[in-house]
C-alpha cells in the first residue's frame, strides 16, 4: 500500500524526461543501473548502463527512477529477454500494478491502468440514490430494447447471404414497416422520460442520466450518433462529425436496429433545429449583403465563430456571382473542423466553378477575449455569426465573448448568435441518451448578455422553436454624439 501511494506522485517536471531515462532495476538490496525507453503503452525497453547485470532475469524486479533529487520506485516488473531495437537487453513489463509508460516518461506521472477501480465503490453506490420509478422505467426500457434488438438481428441474419443489393432492399422494407413501429415506441418512451424527470434538480439529472447510460450502454454504442456523443473522440460534444450526421439525417449503423436508433436520434426536434439554422443563416446573410453598401474591398467580410464543417456555405452560395460577394473567415478550436470547413468550401468551388475567398483561423474562446488583438489581426467584419458555440458558454464568458465580437463589427454591420431555448423538446433525449448537455437560455437570459451594448437587437426563432437567435446590428452613432460627426 505504501508503494502504491508513492507511485501516484508526479516526477519533478523541472527535469526533462528523455526517451532514455536513467533508472535502476532493484532486486533485494541490489540496484542495477539501466537506461529505459518507451516501447509500448505498458512496457519499456531497457539496457544495462554499466557492467552490472541481473543474476536471475526470471525473478521479478522493481524499477527505480531518480529525477532531480527525487525517487520513485514502482513494480514489480517481469524482465523479458527478447529481440529489441538499438541493442536493448529486453523489455520490462509490470505484473501487478500496471503503469502507463507513456505517462511515466512523457508526463512524469505514474498512472495505473487499474486506477478506474479506485472510484468503483462510489460508482456502485450511485444506484442507491436513484428513484424507484426511474429504475423501473430503465429496467423496462432495457428489456424492451433487448427484445427489439434480438428480433431485428434475427431478421437481418436470415437475408445476410443475399447479394448486397437484395440485402439493401429487404432492410429498407423492414425499416419501412416494423421500423416505423419501433420509432413510435421510442417516441413514446421519450414522453415517459420527460414526465419522470421534469421536476429533477440539476444534480438529480446528472445522477439519473449517469445511471441511465450505464444501464443502456451497449444499446447506445450501437447507434453511430449516440456512440460519438458519449465517447467524444475529439474530447467534446458537438464536433463536426456529429454535425455531419445530423445534417445528412440518413440511416447509419451495422444492423437494422442500429440504423433505426441512429435515424431516430437525427430526426429529433433538436436535430431538425440544427438543420433549420443553416437555411436561416443563409437567408439572413443574403438579406444583409443585399441591403448594405458593398465595402471598399468589394466583398462582405464574414466571420463564422466555432465554424465546424461550415456546411451552410452550400446554402449561402448558389451561383458563381455569389462567390464574388463574400470574404469568409472561419474560426474554430479544432483543426480537423477547419479542414472540413475547407472541404465544404472546395466542394462549392468545384460545383459552381468559382473561387471563394476564405481564411481559416485556429482559435478558442480565449482568443476571442482579446478584442484589440483580434481587431489588429482580423480587422472589422460586415457580418458575424455563431450557430452552436454559445450553448456551452456560461453567462460571464458569453457576455465577454459577445462584447468582443460586437467590437469587431463595422458600422451598420450585423451579428447573429444562436442558442438553444429552455423549451427545447429534445433536451432530455440529448442529456440522458447522448450525455450531451447544453446551457439552455430564455429570451430574458439571452438579452441580459448584451445589456451593456449599444446595439439594435431582436430575437428570432427557427421553425421548431427549439433554437433562438440573437440578432444585433451596430448602428451608426447619432449626430452630435461623442463619436458622431
Q: Per residue in 145-185, pLDDT tens?
A: 999 999 999 999 999 999 999 999 999 999 999 999 999 99
Burial class (CB in 10 A: 0-12, 13-18, 19+), 159: middle
Choosing from 267, 300, 325, the residue where a domain stops is 267
**Do both 291 and 424 map to the same domain?**
yes
**Do both 241 and 102 map to the same domain?**
no
Q: Any idea which residue has 538490496 for its cell?
A: 29
**Residue 247 is assigned to a structural domain of this protein:** yes
**Do both 238 and 113 map to the same domain?**
no
Q: How many CB atoms lie within 10 A of CB 256?
A: 24
**Do both 278 and 203 map to the same domain?**
no
Q: Strand, coil or helix: what is 421?
A: strand
Residue 485: pLDDT band with limits 50, 70, 90 = very low
Which residue range forms the structural domain that includes residue 74?
Answer: 2-118
User: How far is Cα 170 from Cα 177, in angstroms, rounded to an integer?
Assistant: 11
Residue 294: pLDDT band with limits 50, 70, 90 = low
Inform me whether the pLDDT recorded for 480 exceeds 60: no
> Which of the residue ranges 109-118, 217-226, 373-382 would you say has the lowest mean pLDDT?
109-118
Q: How many CB atoms lie within 10 A of CB 174?
A: 17
Residue 67: predicted pLDDT: 64
Selected residue with higher pLDDT from 426 and 3: 426
pLDDT in tens, 229-249: 999 999 888 898 999 999 999
**Residue 478 is assigned to a structural domain of this protein:** no
Inform me whether the pLDDT recorded for 295 exceeds 50: yes
Residue 461: predicted pLDDT: 96
Inform me whether the pLDDT recorded for 250 exceeds 60: yes
- Across 138-142, average pLDDT: 98
**Residue 479 is assigned to a structural domain of this protein:** no
Residue 291: predicted pLDDT: 65
What are the backbone dihedrals phi and psi of residue 99, each rounded to the nearest 5 degrees, phi first? -100, 145
Inform me whether the pLDDT recorded for 414 exceeds 70: yes
What are the backbone dihedrals phi and psi of residue 390, each rounded to the nearest 5 degrees, phi first? -70, -10
**Do both 452 and 318 map to the same domain?**
yes
**Residue 327 is assigned to a structural domain of this protein:** yes
We report the CATH number of the domain holding residue 79 as 2.30.110
Residue 237, sorted as left (phi over 0), alpha (psi -120 to 50) or beta, turns out to be: beta
Residue 484: pLDDT band with limits 50, 70, 90 = very low
Inform me whether the pLDDT recorded for 77 exceeds 80: yes
We report the CATH number of the domain holding residue 312 as 3.40.50.150
Inform me whether the pLDDT recorded for 5 exceeds 60: no
Residue 349: predicted pLDDT: 96
**Do both 86 and 208 map to the same domain?**
no
- Across 51-61, average pLDDT: 81
Q: How many CB atoms lie within 10 A of CB 47?
A: 15
User: How far is Cα 299 from Cα 301, in angstroms, rounded to an integer?
Assistant: 6
**Do both 358 and 463 map to the same domain?**
yes
**Do both 62 and 37 map to the same domain?**
yes
Inform me whether the pLDDT recorded for 481 exceeds 60: no
Cell of 173: 422494407
- Is the backbone peptide bond immediately before 58 cis, with ω within 30 degrees of 0? no
Give the chain's mean pLDDT: 87
How many separate domains does the chain show? 3
**Residue 282 is assigned to a structural domain of this protein:** yes
- For the packed helices 164-176 and 256-266, what is the interaxial angle rounded to 10 degrees? 50
User: How far is Cα 154 from Cα 230, in angstroms, rounded to an integer?
Assistant: 27
Choosing from 267, 299, 325, the residue where a domain stops is 267
Residue 355: pLDDT band with limits 50, 70, 90 = very high
Burial class (CB in 10 A: 0-12, 13-18, 19+), 276: middle
Residue 36: predicted pLDDT: 86
User: How far is Cα 236 from Cα 287, in angstroms, rounded to an integer?
Assistant: 33
**Do both 235 and 296 map to the same domain?**
no
Contacts from 232-239 at CB under 8 Å and sequence distance 24+? 234/334, 234/336, 236/334, 237/434, 237/435, 237/436, 237/437, 238/308, 238/388, 238/391, 238/392, 238/436, 239/308, 239/334, 239/336, 239/337
| Cβ pair 48, 32 in contact under 8 A | yes
Inform me whether the pLDDT recorded for 363 exceeds 70: yes
Residue 371: predicted pLDDT: 66
- Across 422-436, average pLDDT: 96
Q: Any idea which residue has 474591398 for its cell?
A: 297
CA angle 280, 395, 415 (to 5 degrees): 30
**Residue 485 is assigned to a structural domain of this protein:** no
Selected residue with higher pLDDT from 157 and 367: 157
Choosing from 212, 240, 267, the residue where a domain stops is 267
**Do both 136 and 239 map to the same domain?**
yes
Residue 8: predicted pLDDT: 32
Q: How far is CA 283 from the centre of its chain?
A: 28
**Residue 44 is assigned to a structural domain of this protein:** yes
- Across 335-364, average pLDDT: 94
- Across 324-341, average pLDDT: 93
Q: Strand, coil or helix: what is 60?
A: coil
**Do both 137 and 86 map to the same domain?**
no
Residue 10: predicted pLDDT: 36
**pTM for this prediction:** 0.77
Residue 68: predicted pLDDT: 61
**Do both 361 and 448 map to the same domain?**
yes
Most confidently predicted of 105-119, 180-194, 224-238: 180-194
**Residue 482 is assigned to a structural domain of this protein:** no
Residue 4: predicted pLDDT: 31
Residue 304: beta bridge partners? 330, 385
Amino acid at each position: 500500500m505504501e508503494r502504491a501511494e508513492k507511485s501516484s506522485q508526479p516526477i519533478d517536471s523541472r527535469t526533462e524526461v528523455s526517451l532514455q531515462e536513467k533508472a535502476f532495476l532493484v532486486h533485494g538490496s541490489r540496484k542495477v543501473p539501466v537506461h529505459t525507453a518507451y516501447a509500448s503503452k505498458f512496457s519499456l525497453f531497457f539496457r544495462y548502463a554499466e557492467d552490472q547485470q541481473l543474476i536471475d532475469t526470471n525473478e521479478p524486479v522493481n524499477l527505480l527512477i531518480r529525477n532531480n533529487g527525487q525517487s520513485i520506485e514502482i513494480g514489480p516488473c517481469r524482465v523479458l529477454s527478447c529481440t529489441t531495437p538499438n541493442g536493448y537487453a529486453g523489455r520490462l513489463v509490470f505484473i501487478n500494478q500496471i503503469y502507463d509508460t507513456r505517462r511515466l516518461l512523457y508526463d512524469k506521472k505514474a498512472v495505473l491502468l487499474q486506477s478506474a477501480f479506485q472510484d468503483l465503490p462510489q460508482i456502485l453506490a450511485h444506484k442507491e440514490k436513484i428513484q424507484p420509478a426511474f429504475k423501473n422505467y430503465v429496467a423496462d426500457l432495457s428489456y424492451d430494447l433487448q427484445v427489439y434488438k434480438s428480433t431485428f438481428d434475427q431478421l437481418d441474419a436470415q437475408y445476410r447471404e443475399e447479394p448486397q443489393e437484395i440485402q439493401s432492399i429487404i432492410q429498407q422494407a423492414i425499416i419501412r414497416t416494423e421500423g416505423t413501429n419501433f420509432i413510435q415506441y421510442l417516441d413514446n418512451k421519450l414522453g415517459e422520460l420527460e414526465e419522470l424527470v421534469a421536476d429533477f434538480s440539476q444534480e438529480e439529472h446528472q445522477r439519473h442520466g449517469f445511471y441511465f447510460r450505464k444501464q443502456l450502454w451497449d444499446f447506445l454504442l450501437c447507434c453511430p450518433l449516440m456512440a460519438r456523443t458519449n465517447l467524444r473522440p475529439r474530447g467534446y460534444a458537438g464536433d463536426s462529425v456529429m454535425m455531419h450526421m445530423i445534417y445528412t439525417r440518413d440511416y447509419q449503423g451495422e444492423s437494422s436496429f442500429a440504423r433505426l436508433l441512429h435515424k431516430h436520434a437525427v430526426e429529433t426536434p433538436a436535430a431538425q433545429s440544427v438543420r433549420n439554422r443553416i437555411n436561416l443563416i443563409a437567408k439572413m446573410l443574403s438579406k444583409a449583403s443585399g441591403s448594405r453598401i458593398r465595402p471598399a474591398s468589394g466583398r462582405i467580410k464574414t466571420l463564422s465563430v466555432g465554424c465546424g464543417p461550415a456546411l451552410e456555405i452550400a446554402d449561402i452560395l448558389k451561383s458563381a456571382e455569389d462567390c464574388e460577394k463574400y470574404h469568409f473567415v472561419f474560426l474554430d478550436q479544432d483543426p480537423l473542423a477547419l479542414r472540413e470547413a475547407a472541404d465544404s468550401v472546395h466542394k462549392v468551388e468545384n460545383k459552381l466553378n468559382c473561387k471563394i475567398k476564405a481564411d481559416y483561423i485556429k482559435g478558442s474562446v480565449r482568443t476571442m477575449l482579446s478584442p484589440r488583438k483580434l481587431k489588429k489581426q482580423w480587422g472589422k467584419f460586415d457580418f458575424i455569426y455563431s450557430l452552436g458555440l454559445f450553448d456551452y458558454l456560461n453567462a460571464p464568458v458569453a457576455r465577454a465573448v459577445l462584447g468582443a465580437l460586437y467590437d469587431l463589427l463595422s458600422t451598420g454591420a450585423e451579428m447573429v448568435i444562436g442558442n438553444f431555448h429552455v423549451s427545447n423538446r429534445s433536451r432530455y433525449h440529448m442529456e440522458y441518451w447522448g450525455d450531451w448537455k447544453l446551457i439552455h437560455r430564455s429570451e430574458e437570459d439571452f438579452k441580459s448578455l448584451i445589456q451593456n451594448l449599444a446595439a439594435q437587437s431582436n430575437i428570432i426563432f427557427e421553425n421548431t422553436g427549439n433554437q433562438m437567435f440573437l440578432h444585433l446590428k451596430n448602428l451608426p452613432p447619432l449626430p452630435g454624439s461623442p463619436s458622431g460627426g
